């Protein structure tokens, strides 16, 4: 029973979003809640059945088969007439095609179709029609398979607030008749910028979250990275800035345990007293570099190398290079001079308080406190608590 429970929990995280995307892609965005309900019911049935009979030979195939059967049953039972529920379809024959077992089996369950469905869902969610917080919430729910409880905890709010936020966002998407498809070539790059921004914000939501659930923070970051990797698997979205963002996330994620674990001094103190250190972010200089993930750092360098193709220099390129320097253990002058130079470039194309404040830190390390204090005084960010 315990083995079945753990398998369902793992599969839910992996397959919930894929199944919802497949159903929504086929039957339309207006049925997103029905798709979520069907997939949730499928997992509930799996919990009951597997708990009694044990795990099937192929649990993933079992889920897809049952979800497909439930979907077809729901649409047929509800007698969804074209002129009432599917107004964009041109005739009854089209509805029959959508609910045709053989055609759906051939089209909808290949790895490529699953990937394409999620990619189209990602572009549908990342529209300027809805606010950033709503986009992140939809991404967590529909693309990453997080439950409402987990999303509420990540945002440090309650379930009712999250449910209302997601409901309003879905209503806006329905009202605007947003389709689950890639935009035309002329609009793709502009829309991709929005998609990359949402993935970037999603990663930050996990990395800088104030929730004490360390596992949740880590999973949010990993899901953002998974969405970024998905973009690299499609030629039209595998652009240099996509790889630059992935490099940035890899470098930051490599220091996740060191940042959220114990510093050397805290660990030494805890070992001596038998007490655990407080679960607070560890400042960069106090981090235990033995906790850095070397595999993720190497992966970050691979994505960074791939990002160097072309002539565009995005904020992700500069932030990735800065993050790569933070994965260099030696605290030598050349390191901080390089970081300061990168911040000087970054602030010219992205002048924000956070970039300006981070530059002050690099300036202090490179040129000393006198230069840093003078530059900090000129910022005049008295209303900023970090300042």
Decide: 40 and 17 in contact? Cβ < 8 Å. Answer: no
- Is residue 88 pLDDT above 60, yes or no? no
pLDDT at 178: 85
pLDDT average, residue stretch 217-228: 93
Predicted TM-score of the model (pTM): 0.83
- Give the range among 33-37, 262-266, 308-312 with minimum mean pLDDT: 262-266
- Distance separating alpha carbons of residues 163 and 153, to the nearest angstrom: 13
pLDDT of residue 2 exceeding 70: no
How far, CA to CA in Å, does 352 sit from each of 244, 309, 355, 377?
20, 27, 5, 16
Q: Is the pLDDT at 245 greater than 90, yes or no?
A: yes
Quick check: 268 pLDDT over 50? Answer: no
**pLDDT for the residue 137:** 92
CA distances from 309 to 244, 284, 303, 313, 317 (A): 10, 31, 11, 10, 11
User: Does residue 175 register a pLDDT over 60?
Assistant: yes
| 3-state SS string for 38-67 | HHHHHHHHHHHHHHHHCCCCCHHHHHHHHH
The alpha-helical segments, DSSP class H, found in the chain are: 2-27, 32-53, 59-77, 92-98, 101-108, 111-125, 132-138, 148-154, 159-175, 185-207, 214-232, 240-254, 256-260, 264-273, 294-306, 315-325, 333-349, 353-367, 369-379
Greater pLDDT, 58 or 250: 250
Q: Which of the two residues, 152 and 78, has the higher pLDDT score?
A: 152
User: What confidence tier does 276 reach under pLDDT thresholds 50, 70, 90?
Assistant: very low
Residue-averaged pLDDT of the chain: 84
């Amino acid at each position: 029973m315990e083995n079945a429970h753990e398998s369902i929990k793992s599969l839910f995280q992996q397959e919930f979003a894929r199944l919802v995307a497949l159903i929504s892609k086929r039957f339309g965005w207006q049925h997103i809640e029905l798709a979520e309900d069907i997939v949730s019911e499928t997992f509930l049935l799996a919990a009951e059945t597997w708990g009694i009979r044990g795990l099937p030979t192929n649990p993933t195939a079992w889920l897809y088969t049952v979800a497909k059967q439930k979907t077809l049953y729901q649409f047929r039972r509800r007698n969804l007439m074209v002129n009432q529920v599917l107004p964009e379809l041109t005739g009854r024959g089209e509805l029959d095609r959508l609910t045709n077992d053989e055609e759906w089996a051939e089209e909808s369950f290949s790895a490529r179709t699953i990937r394409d469905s999620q990619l189209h869902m990602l572009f549908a969610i990342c529209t300027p029609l809805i606010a950033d917080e709503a986009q992140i919430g939809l991404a967590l729910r529909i693309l990453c398979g997080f439950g409402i409880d987990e999303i509420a905890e990540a945002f440090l709010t309650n379930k009712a607030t999250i449910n209302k936020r997601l409901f309003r966002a879905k209503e806006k998407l329905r009202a605007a008749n947003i389709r689950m498809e890639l935009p035309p070539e002329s609009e793709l790059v502009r829309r991709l910028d929005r998609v990359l921004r949402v993935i970037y914000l999603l990663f930050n939501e996990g990395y800088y979250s104030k929730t004490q659930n360390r596992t949740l923070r880590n999973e949010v970051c990993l899901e953002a990275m998974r969405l970024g990797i998905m973009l690299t698997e499609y030629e039209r979205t595998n652009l240099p800035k996509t790889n630059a963002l992935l490099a940035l996330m890899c470098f930051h994620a490599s220091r996740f345990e060191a940042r959220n674990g114990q510093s050397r001094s805290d660990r030494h103190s805890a070992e001596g007293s038998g007490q655990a250190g407080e679960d607070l972010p560890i400042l960069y200089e106090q981090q235990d570099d033995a906790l850095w993930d070397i595999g993720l750092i190497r992966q970050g360098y691979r994505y960074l190398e791939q990002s160097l193709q072309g002539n565009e220099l995005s904020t992700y390129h500069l932030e990735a290079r800065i993050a790569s320097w933070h994965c260099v253990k030696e605290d030598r002058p050349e390191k901080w001079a390089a970081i300061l130079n990168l911040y000087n470039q970054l602030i010219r194309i992205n002048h924000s308080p956070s970039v300006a404040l981070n530059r002050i830190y690099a300036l202090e390390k490179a040129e000393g406190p006198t230069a840093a204090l003078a530059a900090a005084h000129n910022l005049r960010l008295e209303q900023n608590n970090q300042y």
